[in-house]
A and B are shown apart, each in its own frame.
Chain A
Amino acid sequence: MSHRWVVRILVVAVVAGGGLGAQSATADAAQDRPPAAGTVNADAVREVAAQLRCVVCQNLSVADSPSEMANQMRGIIRDRLAAGEPPEQVVQYFVDKYGEWILLAPRGRGLNLMVWAAPVVAVLAGLIAVGVLLRRWTRPRPAPRAGGIDPVLRERIRRELESEP
């Protein structure tokens, strides 16, 4: 009896495992295909919308803005993704219409490279400046050379020392 139960449990486990494997394979295949019309998930829309500036707001993305314009832009993103456009192409559509201004993070090419490089350059320059100053401040000072003292002053000190009782 107990042997039968062990066999049954094993069969159920194998069948369930096979089912999960098949589900996983289906999910992998689905990721490679463009989504069918009407099946765009909210995360995919949000991912694109988060890259775009809300055109009627101050420093808000299309994903975060409650404005009507942003709502309409999210609708356009959803429609384009549902039509099978890859996310990069949807972003490019908005760039074509509004220019790179619409991107919240400027692309790292051309003059835009300055925006990305400037903080790194500033931090490096700061580190170099701190290093140079630390070296200067911690450098041992050379003892004053005897020959460097004014002969008049030396003579005066000698006379004062001799005249002391």
Chain B
Amino acid sequence: MWKWLIPLSVVPVIALLAYGFRVNPRDIPSPLVGRPAAPFALRTFDGAPVMLESLRGRVVVLNFWASWCSPACYDEAPTLERSWRSYRGRGVALVGIAIQDKHEASQKFISDFSLSFPNAPDPDGKVSVDYGVYGVPETFFIDRTGRIRLKHAGPISDELFRTEVEKLLGEPALDPSVDSQEKGG
């Protein structure tokens, strides 16, 4: 029995290493998925106010980006603009939040990609910490009841945007008055 003890004691160590090497340490699950999205009130680069509260009842896509985030943010910027143009008429709100970035550099990024959806800086980082952001780009899909349904780290694809937004659009809003307003409007 004793002669097997040392070889057997190696098995759990190898199993632990095998598990550890297969897991991506950068893939950190967000505890916020399924929970209400943190409210925020920011001012866009154009000076317009943007508040999550005012988007209640709509599917909201929140994208955290930075002009220094290359190439990932540069890769996804055209996708976001394209998706916004496709879905803006269907009750979807897309808000970009520039984090840890210089004002002028962010504005140049917006201009270079002709981004027409609202983009706002997060000067003190409070919104990014409220959403548990640890890198850019990160995108949050918020359903019509105000819950975070998906957090995607890395550049977003047309397909992922479409799939997730279509799924959330197919779900009823909690507040029936919002539905009737949208149908009426």
Q: Does B126 sit at the interface, judged by CB under 8 A?
A: yes
Once the chains bind, are A94 and B129 in contact (CB under 8 Å)?
A: yes
With contacts A56-B135, A75-B124 taken as known, whether A99 is within 8 angstroms of B29 at the C-beta atoms is yes
Interface of A with B (CB < 8 Å)?
A: 55-56, 68-69, 72-73, 75-76, 94, 96-99, 101, 125
Once the chains bind, are A97 and B125 in contact (CB under 8 Å)?
A: no
Q: Does B100 sit at the interface, judged by CB under 8 A?
A: yes
Q: How far is the CB of B105 from chain A (nearest CB, A)?
A: 13
The residue in chain B whose Cβ has the minimal distance to the Cβ of A55 is B134
Once the chains bind, are B100 and A72 in contact (CB under 8 Å)?
A: yes
A94 to B135 Cα, complex, angstroms? 16
Total interface residues on B, using CB and 8 Å? 18
Q: How far is the CB of A88 from chain B (nearest CB, A)?
A: 18
With contacts A55-B134, A68-B100 taken as known, whether A98 is within 8 angstroms of B125 at the C-beta atoms is no
Once the chains bind, are B28 and A101 in contact (CB under 8 Å)?
A: yes
By DSSP majority rule, is chain B's interface helix, strand, loop, or mixed? Answer: loop
Once the chains bind, are B30 and A99 in contact (CB under 8 Å)?
A: yes
Contacts of A96 in B (CB 8 A): 31
The residue in chain A whose Cβ has the minimal distance to the Cβ of B101 is A68
Contacts of A73 in B (CB 8 A): 125, 129
Other-chain residue from B124, B126, B132 in contact with A98 (beta carbon distance below 8 A)? B132
Other-chain residue from B9, B124, B131, B135 in contact with A97 (beta carbon distance below 8 A)? B131
Q: How far is the CB of A71 from chain B (nearest CB, A)?
A: 8
Q: Does B32 sit at the interface, judged by CB under 8 A?
A: yes
- Known contacts A69-B100, A76-B125; 11 additional CB pairs below 8 A are A55-B134, A56-B134, A68-B125, A72-B125, A76-B124, A76-B126, A97-B31, A98-B31, A99-B30, A99-B132, A125-B9
Once the chains bind, are B125 and A75 in contact (CB under 8 Å)?
A: yes
12 A-B pairs in the complex with CB atoms less than 8 angstroms apart? A55-B134, A56-B135, A72-B100, A72-B125, A75-B124, A76-B125, A76-B129, A94-B129, A96-B31, A98-B134, A99-B31, A101-B28
Q: Does B130 sit at the interface, judged by CB under 8 A?
A: yes
Other-chain residue from A56, A68, A97 in contact with B32 (beta carbon distance below 8 A)? A97
Within 8 A of A (CB), among B14-53: 28-32
The 4 lowest CB-CB distance pairs between A and B, nearest first, are A72-B125, A55-B134, A97-B132, A68-B100
